[in-house]
Structure 1
């Protein structure tokens, strides 16, 4: 019958941990080899030589959002504040325009006709 080499649990734990870390190191090596041999990786382009000290361009002023006709300044300010509260900056607003949703408008009209006064 076969006799175990040791009954000490610390020696068994050490042997098992060495095996686990050897396997992990081998997997890491395979991953690094795959990254080196990856044919789909884009090649690094050589940087173009920089032109000799171009004149600094003036910084463009942030564009104000496009305001459709009929909206007051207060309405635009309220919409901008609401969008800013949601986590966006005022510079990210590109346009403010009414959404065409005739179904909502018609629903309001029919509800108004159904209510008795």
Structure 2
């Protein structure tokens, strides 16, 4: 009996998420088909012009917008940003530096600092436990 290996495929939304692009801005043929693992790998290693353009100028999905602004996705929502933004719009927001953005960046910095503190504390506890064992 022969086993048939089928190509692993994913929905366009999943592929767009993995590529870090806004699905609605991708070409129709990308949105309307399915993407195999091999196609996804090819897009990642040798991106076509449309993909390079989307990554460079957007519109960008919310996780990318949040990362570029240095805030969380929740912080974006609290700031009233619910749609995809272009690189130009993100740069304008950075230049404008509204109060909500400054506040969310400070919050994100505190979250990161706390995560580092907790990790260091856990590592110290593990080291102490190994030493005492």
Q: Into which bin does the TM-score normalised by the smaller protein fall?
A: under 0.3
* TM-score when normalising by structure 1: 0.21
Structure whose alpha-carbon radius of gyration is higher: 1
